[in-house]
Amino acid sequence: MKHIVPVKWLLARLYESDVVIVDCRFQLGKPESGREAYEESHIPGAVYLDLEKDLSAPVGEHGGRHPLPDAAELTVKLGKVGISNDTRVVAYDDQGGAMASRLWWLLKYLGHENVFVMDGGFTAWKNAGCPVSAEQKVLIPARFVATVQHNLLVEVDEVRESLGTGRYVLVDSREAPRYRGEAEPIDRVAGHIPGARNLFWAEGRQADGTWKSAEEQRERFADAGLSQDDEIVVYCGSGVTATPNVLALGEAGFTRVKLYAGSWSDWISWQDNPIAVGDEEARNDG
């Protein structure tokens, strides 16, 4: 696996000086619970970064529920917790890898390649009998210089202009009922971007919560009709749970993958954007 490391890998490198471990635990609707969980117990030496305070910008009229953070501000925050351009970063959460994948993607976006997600999250670490701690590390600041990779990102106007042209293959990472517009527990409008295919992000994991192998991911994407020649744009509700699909596509060898960071919550903030409901395949066949 290119971007995912097992518990044993991290355990063997726990005290290596160039490794920074980042706890990304966060629960939507309970914004303080992740930090509280970290303060109670975490992987020894781990630092904490908060999805909404650190890994997102404040919510505005557009940009979705978790807008991308300002690159310069994020760079400073990363440096403050000890991440430099030479650091090996390992992120974990207890949300199936969704929050850790957000940090993974942001670091890739800022040009930092040496970043990984720990397989199975904090629960797998504890279940393996590995050490935990409530002690918070003394932070030694580092200097991180970003080289923003704009090619990893698309904006709303690019998605809008691509509709019907075949330029992008759109992948909607939400659960099927939300994609089809049958249920929408979070956003004010239900449905999906016209033409998008539905690939629920959590289907990239095994039943035990660990990630599927690269070969299994390739089969998963082949079954959905994706080709490695496609230029793929991945989105979800707010740009967070799309990132595990981006990571899984990378594991499977897809190289032409972009994130629509604002995602559905940004799409519906623009009044004239078209909205589709139901199942694309079924409608196309009919």
Domain ranges of the chain: 4-148, 151-285
SS3 content of the chain, % helix, strand, coil (to 5): 30, 15, 55
At 232, which amino acid appears?
I
Average pLDDT over residues 23-40: 96
Active-site residue, from 49, 100, 156, 236: 236
What is the CB-side half-sphere exposure of residue 164 using CA atoms within 13 A?
4
Backbone angles phi, psi at 233, to 5 degrees: -115, 120
Q: Are 35 and 48 in contact (CB under 8 A)?
A: yes
**pLDDT at 283 exceeding the cut of 80:** no
Q: What is the pLDDT of residues 69-95, one digit of tens each?
A: 999 999 999 999 999 999 999 999 999
> Mean pLDDT of all residues in the chain?
96
Superfamily of domain 151-285: Rhodanese-like domain (3.40.250.10)
Say what angle helices 98-109 and 71-80 make with each other, to 10 degrees: 110
* Per-residue confidence band for 27, with pLDDT thresholds at 50, 70 and 90: very high
Residue 1: per-residue pLDDT: 72
| Of the options 3.60.21.10, 3.40.250.10, 2.70.70.10, 3.30.420.40, the CATH number for the domain spanning 4-148 | 3.40.250.10
pLDDT (tens digit per residue) in 93-152: 999 999 999 999 999 999 999 999 999 999 999 999 999 999 998 999 999 999 999 999
For the residues 17-28, what does the mean pLDDT come to? 96
24 is a catalytic site residue: no
For the four alpha carbons of 243, 248, 251 and 257, in that order, the dihedral sign comes to: negative
137 near 109, Cβ under 8 Å? no
Instruction: Choose among 172, 125, 146: nearest CA to 5.
Output: 125
What ranges make up the beta strands (E) of 7-121?
19-23, 47-48, 88-92, 115-118
Tokens 């989105």 belong to 235
Share of the chain above pLDDT 70, in %: 98
Identical topology for domains 4-148 and 151-285: yes
